[in-house]
Homo-oligomer: A and B are copies of this chain.
Amino acid sequence: MEHGAQTPAPHRVVIVGGGFGGLYAAQKLGRAPVVVTLVDQRNFHLFQPLLYQVATGGLSPADIASPLRAVLSGQKNTRVLQGEVVDFDLEGRRVLLQDGDLPYDTLIVAAGAASHYFGRPEWGESAPSLKTVEDALEIRRRVFSAFEAAEREIDPDARRAWLTFVVVGGGPTGVELAGALGELAHHTLKNDFRSFNPANARVLLLEGADRILPPYPEQSSAEAVEALERLGVEVRAGVKVTEIRGSEVTLQVGEEEEVLQARTVLWAAGMKASPLGEILARRAGAEVDRGGRVIVNEDLTLPGHPEVYVLGDLAHTRGEDGHSLPGVAPVAIQQGQFVAERIARRGSGKAPTRFRYHDKGSLAVIGRHAAVAAIGRLRLKGFLAWMVWMFVHILYLVEFDNQVLVLFQWAWSYFTKNRGARLITPSVPLELSTSERPVVEALGR
């Protein structure tokens, strides 16, 4: 429709997913001669490593989430769209949304991972996992509702079941969640109930492998067990969960079977790549691994499609040692930056050709002021490790706003041991297990 000389159309980059990989790629493309569209189902970037704090009432969702628009509003070449990607037309170079098509010249798919119950999706009903804001609020609702129910329950066995919390999975998320629950029971809620002592609540951390934090050095695992036990958490490794139904968890311990009565069971055991990985691989004739991750080239491109990149939890890539890279934020961040650099320098002969991961170490936090860290050959534990953990995590919060607020909230709750965010929302009535219309025990009677 324009008259005059035609200027070449700008190179269109579409990024699917506003997690660490997608967002860091978008930020690094801010000054490149391209136009960027970032599509996400949600309108915010979520700092998942702190989600367990939301689940246990220490932080609010907004403290660890940044509106994608706010983060990218200063980049004039970038547009954010909220939308659900359902498929890809690789020949036509279009991303197919639920309700529209989005054309691209270069595509970055960074759709991340979701919880996975190893072929037992029905366990999700009894044992919520911790991947989204909604998951965290559901866990928060269940945890604090369990304490509320215990306060009203007059049958001792039923009360015991309300006060038993089982965390399945001894990776960093499980360790952090169990530690926070132990701290809740032993510190935060200490004076809050009249019919039981919260310190008598039982928190169990179950791990199938022979030690918790299996990818960490053995020394870190042992230190984590020690720190957890100080918070009253029972750590049980080498234990396999064979059934979760209602408030019963069935374990296999060696040859023995054991049944736990627990009203609150939390799932921190499995992750699987977004279904978009399989869809993309099918369209390209590429392969996925057991975890649904797309097996990509050394430069993170989709086999046969040099214009399509896959990264983060959605991509299967290998480190220098030949092992596949873990699904953690630093991998996704470095991959996002690598891909952005390749795109910015495309055609210049200076684009990097092979992704190399720089491992900066592992960290897991236990309770209010203990953590374990393995940074290169350095091993830290206790308060020092906690300080490192806090510093690193705050550094990675995408917005400066959130960094300041979370630092302030933490400093505050560190001194007050408070968890003000322990709201039960939405309001769902508790179901008590005892007989009809019991007289609620009055205080002092």
Contact = CB atoms under 8 A, between A and B. Distances in A.
Interface of A: 9-10, 12, 35-37, 41-44, 57, 60-63, 65-67, 69-70, 73-74, 77-84, 97-103, 133-134, 137, 144-145, 148, 151-152, 189, 191-194, 399, 401-402, 404-405, 408-409, 412, 416, 418, 420-427, 429-430, 432, 436-440, 442-445
B79 A443 contact: yes
Q: How many copies does the complex hold?
A: 2
Contact of A148 (B43, B100, B133, B444): B43
B442 A133 contact: no
A100 B35 contact: no
A418 B98 contact: no
A57 B401 CA distance: 14
B100 A152 contact: yes
A442 B81 CA distance: 10
26 contacts: A9-B444, A36-B443, A37-B442, A43-B423, A44-B422, A62-B422, A69-B193, A73-B192, A77-B443, A80-B192, A82-B148, A82-B152, A82-B430, A98-B429, A99-B437, A100-B439, A101-B437, A101-B439, A102-B440, A133-B423, A134-B426, A399-B420, A401-B412, A401-B416, A405-B409, A408-B408
A311 B409 CA distance: 35
Given A77-B443, A439-B103, A83 B152 contact: yes
Contacts of A432: 99-100
A132 B319 CA distance: 50
Given A77-B443, A133-B423, A134-B425, 15 more contacts: A35-B442, A43-B144, A60-B60, A60-B62, A70-B192, A70-B422, A77-B444, A79-B443, A83-B440, A100-B152, A100-B432, A134-B426, A137-B425, A401-B418, A402-B420
Nearest to A425: B133
Contacts of A440: 81, 83, 97, 100-102
Contacts of A100: 152, 432, 437-440
B420 A401 contact: yes
A213 B152 CA distance: 44
A111 B385 CA distance: 48
A145 to B, nearest CB: 8
Nearest to A61: B423
Contacts of A81: 151-152, 440
A152 B137 CA distance: 29
